[in-house]
Amino acid sequence: MVRLLRFDGVQRSVHWLNALLFGALIFTGIPLYFGSFFGVIFPRHEIQEIHLWTGLMLPLPIVVSLLGPWGRRMRQDLHRCSYWSKAELRWLWTLGRERIDLDKYNPGQKANGLFIGAAIIVLWVSGYVLQWFRFFPVSWREGATVTHDFWAFAVFVVVAGHIFMALTHREAMVSMLKGTVSEKWAQTHAKEWVDEESAT
């Protein structure tokens, strides 16, 4: 049985480091956000420090993996996420009801990746404004508060959806643990990619 490499070691490390960092940020963000509305007593200062340092590190795995000589597949896949056909857009629009030959990642997965990438930048920058607020005008601090809260909510929803999809699509999830998928799976879920791989 032929197996195709979907995620190399670098990509898997980046994914799980991201998962760890996002997990820690959500876990500490919930009390920081809700605790302050209800006046819950918790070690706020310590949790705030964890949230801050985890947040500052958040872009590192992706940036380091993309820039180094080890990042060939990361860069290739970034490229895949950037380029879309009209059919892929229709697929996203119809939530996958239209049958097309899918790329290595389906349009939903591409959109997820793009959203998380953008969210990292937006949350990092708005978080920076919140932490080092004195360098920014008050209206920016207010904007950063709204933006950070709103995007955090969106990330929470998207991450929950991502986990749900992973748990209900076993082979795709296992490929993020072991790296490979069966050719049979790839023929069904990533036909365009299989054709491309066999052409080279």
Partner 1 sequence: MNDESLVRAGKTPVGRRMFLGLVALGAAGVAFGSQVQKLVGNKLGSGIASLLPGGDHFRIYTISGGFPTISTDKYQLKVSGLVDTPLTLSFSDLQSLPSIHMVKGFQCVTGWRVNNVPWKGVPLSHILKMVGAHSDAVAVSFDSYDNTDSESLLIDQAHLADVIVAYEMYGQTVTREHGGPVRLVVPQMYGYKSLKWLSGIRVVNHVEPGFWEQNGYPVNGWLDGSTGVTNPTPRLS
Binding test (CB under 8 A) with partner 1, winner from 143, 165, 174, 176: 143
Binding test (CB under 8 A) with partner 1, winner from 1, 82, 97, 167: 82
Taking CB under 8 A as the binding criterion, the range among 5-13, 59-67, 148-156, 182-190 that sits at the site for partner 1 is: 148-156
Binding test (CB under 8 A) with partner 1, winner from 2, 60, 63, 114: 114
* Comparison of 68 and 142: residue with beta carbon closer to partner 1: 142
The sign of the CA dihedral 93, 84, 198, 171 is negative
Q: How far is the CB of 126 from partner 1 (least distance, A)?
A: 6
* Range 21-40, binding partner 1 (CB under 8 A): 36-39
On whether the CB atoms of residues 118 and 58 are closer than 8 A, the answer is: no
- Using rule CB under 8 A, residue 139 touches partner 1: yes
Per-residue CA distances from 62 to 2, 85, 162, 197 (Å): 30, 25, 18, 25
Binding test (CB under 8 A) with partner 1, winner from 30, 150, 166, 177: 150
At a CB cut-off of 8 Å and minimum separation 6, what does 179 contact? 5, 6, 7, 8, 9, 12
Interface contacts to partner 1, rule CB under 8 A: 36-39, 41, 43-44, 76, 79, 81-86, 88-89, 110-111, 114-115, 117-119, 121-122, 125-126, 129-130, 133-134, 137-153, 196
